[in-house]
Amino acid sequence: MHRSIREHCLDMKKEIIMRRALPGDVEDFVSLIILSAPLFFKKLYGNRFKSILQYLFLHQHNLFSFNHVYFAESGGKKAGMILEYDWRFKKQEDLRTGLLLLKYMELNFIKRLPLFLKVRDVTGWINREEHYISNVAVYPEYRGMGIGTDLIAKVEMKARKNGAKKVVLDVEVENLKAIKLYKKLGYAIVKESSIRVPGELFYFYRMYKKLK
């Protein structure tokens, strides 16, 4: 008798484990972070955006470091990831992230600095006692298994443990599936903002959830 797709997914769900990222996860990190924002990073960093994301991930003490990433694995294969940090790391590593970008991008960083500052004012800003979800993504073949929900729950648990009062995130207005999931998990829209990146205007919702 053939097993149903649902039964197969449930079996895979039982195998899911969460773990901290390692430097060797760099290729999957880049693939997944692009899935989470297909156009944004290319427009923000230019044609070298993949190598820039790789560079940041492999270095510690910046906001894209492997230290801030969790992976979900199913059957020994990476299924999804989440990039997160709290207000303390944001304060400590904002400048370090910029310096690493300057080192790698050189003159192109100076040219794009006004844009980076505008983006920072729209997305990624967090207040004291807040925990930030920067990016979350699941490979298409693993969607519908609750992996995104599990990754967010992992971050919420960590945020509570570390004394955060809220979890906040920014999501593109057009990402309806993600917005639906966040609302289901108790996140509310509090603000809409926009930012013009070369050749494109992006709209974002700021969403948050109070932690009990």
pLDDT tens, position by position, 55-113: 999 999 999 999 999 999 998 899 999 999 999 999 999 999 999 999 999 999 999 99
Instruction: Report pTM.
Output: 0.92
Kindly report the number of other CB atoms within 10 A of residue 98's CB atom: 17
The helix/strand/coil state of 186 is coil
> What confidence score (pLDDT) does residue 43 get?
94
User: Does residue 8 surpass a pLDDT of 60?
Assistant: no
State the residue for tokens 């990433």: 69
List the one residue out of 33, 158, 147 whose CA is nearest residue 89: 158
Name the burial class of residue 87, with classes exposed (0-12), middle (13-18) and buried (19+) by CB atoms within 10 angstroms of its CB. buried
Q: In what order do the strands lie in the sheet with 130-138?
A: 17-20, 69-74, 77-86, 130-138, 166-172, 200-210, 188-197
H helix or E strand, kind and range, residue 172: strand 166-172
User: Does residue 7 surpass a pLDDT of 90?
Assistant: no
Average pLDDT over residues 7-13: 54
CB 84 within 8 A of CB 68: yes
User: Which has the higher per-residue pLDDT, 10 or 76?
Assistant: 76
Average pLDDT over residues 162-184: 97
Distance CA 64, CA 55 (A): 9
Which residue segment(s) compose the domain that 163 sits in? Answer: 5-210
* Count: domains in the chain: 1
Which CATH number is 178's domain given? 3.40.630.30
Share of the chain above pLDDT 70, in %: 93
> What confidence score (pLDDT) does residue 1 get?
45
User: Does residue 9 surpass a pLDDT of 70?
Assistant: no
